[in-house]
Structure 1
């Protein structure tokens, strides 16, 4: 996802998948219904803490994925294939190894 409109669309679909109204989600996330409506429509400038509150309320998590991997999954590539798993592992940042 690369645009606010895409983020809004994903949030709207996640809300609908959970049979939540916009008012219910806004209340649960501690934001106004108007703010949620603007975000779902791809308008405005959402603060990170607002986005994180919405994700938590929807049971979602923010993850950073290399663009090449995101492109593969958006294109419908079989994400269960071993070769894709190997590529994802190669591209993801590795934890630092302190003390070595």
Structure 2
């Protein structure tokens, strides 16, 4: 989970800019939630090693900066054990 603190409206606009910078189809499960003090982004990775490499790497830092977002607080939530998708949705 990536927590971005600040004005939610500005952060949501930055999140939209960040999504526009990503190649189509790169995200598998990605949620953005407005919180009382900003936004929280829940984003999945194939495994812990990919998450650790991505979240601490220069590509992620450059992506966040290019979108005009502040440095997030990064928190591992754990391993996904199951999820439900609407009928007809593919992964």
Of structures 1 and 2, the one with the larger relative CO (CA 8 A, separation 6+) is 2
Q: Normalising by the residue count of structure 2, what TM-score does the alignment of the two structures yield? A: 0.25
Relative to total residues, which structure has the larger helix share, 1 or 2? 1
- The structure number with the bigger radius of gyration is 1
